[in-house]
Amino acid sequence: MKKTIGIYCGLISLVAIIFIISFKDYQTKIDILNQEKQELQQENKKLQATAAYKGNQSNEEESVNYHTFSDLESKAENFLSDSDGAFKKSWGIYLANEAKKYEIDPYLVYELLKVETGNTFDPNLVGPKTKYGHAYGMSQFMKNTAPWIADMADLPYDEELLFDPYYSIQLSVVYLDFLHNQYNNWDEALTAYHRGMSGMEAYKKSNGTAESQYAMLIQNRAKEHRTVAYAN
């Protein structure tokens, strides 16, 4: 009798163990499916926003005349001086012209590049390794982000192009324009540039605002830079 009871107890214990293991395995699968669902929702949201952005873009480009070029050159010389020669004049002219096309403050773009490269403006910069990989070039784009921004800008994509300063500048301007159109304020746009769109949403949920240190630093520097430039 005792032997029979022992066998039953053993069987019950075995069934309980199998049930616990099965439940944990089931819960793990549920967690994975939920994670995949969230990622798909984020990807779908991003694709919809990209399509809407591309649909609203105009093919008209404002021509550059003697007056506008003089203004572009003036800004480029300012960037050259501020960077102690690190940000080449030709880069500055290109940046100012691209920013003008999208009606973005060129000083905001310049200060973003300054922060992203740690004041070096190194077009060959490779950022530190993260769980998402490295960031590349002057604008510090990751390989999982750059291709769809290039597509949004109607540009070809190749990993080596991330080290081209003009390509990098254009991607940064297009991405900033996209983000600002998406959120309609620079706190969210800049924080999303830095943390990714889902990262910005998480930051905003956690802090109650998208006013990150990164976003404020760039906006404050751009404001100061613009004020000094216009005063001279």
What is the topology classification, in CATH, of domain 66-231?
Answer: Lysozyme (1.10.530)
State the residue for tokens 């403006």: 121
pLDDT of residue 131: 84
Return d(Cα 134, Cα 128) in angstroms, integer. 6
17 half-sphere exposure, CB direction, 13 A CA radius: 6
pLDDT of residue 69: 85
Q: Is 144 exposed, middle or buried (0-12, 13-18, 19+ CB in 10 A)?
A: exposed
34 half-sphere exposure, CB direction, 13 A CA radius: 6
Helix axes 106-116, 66-82, angle to 10 degrees: 30
Q: Distances from the Cα of 68 to the Cαs of 73, 81, 215, 225, in angstroms?
A: 9, 20, 29, 20
Alpha-helical segments (H) within 56-129: 66-82, 89-101, 106-116
Return d(Cα 180, Cα 188) in angstroms, integer. 8
Q: Is 140 left (phi over 0), alpha (psi -120 to 50) or beta?
A: left
Rounded to two decimals, what is the model's pTM? 0.76
Return d(Cα 141, Cα 154) in angstroms, integer. 17
pLDDT tens, N- to C-terminus, the chain (232 residues): 555 655 656 656 655 566 566 666 656 655 554 554 454 445 545 555 555 565 566 545 566 666 688 899 999 999 999 999 999 999 999 999 999 999 999 999 999 999 999 999 999 999 999 888 899 999 999 998 999 999 999 999 999 999 999 999 999 999 999 999 999 999 999 999 999 999 999 999 999 999 999 999 999 999 999 998 888 7
State both tokens at 155: 């540009």
Domain boundaries, the chain: 1-56, 66-231
pLDDT of residue 13: 63
By C-alpha distance, which of 138, 137, 130 is closest to 196? 130
Residue type, 12: I
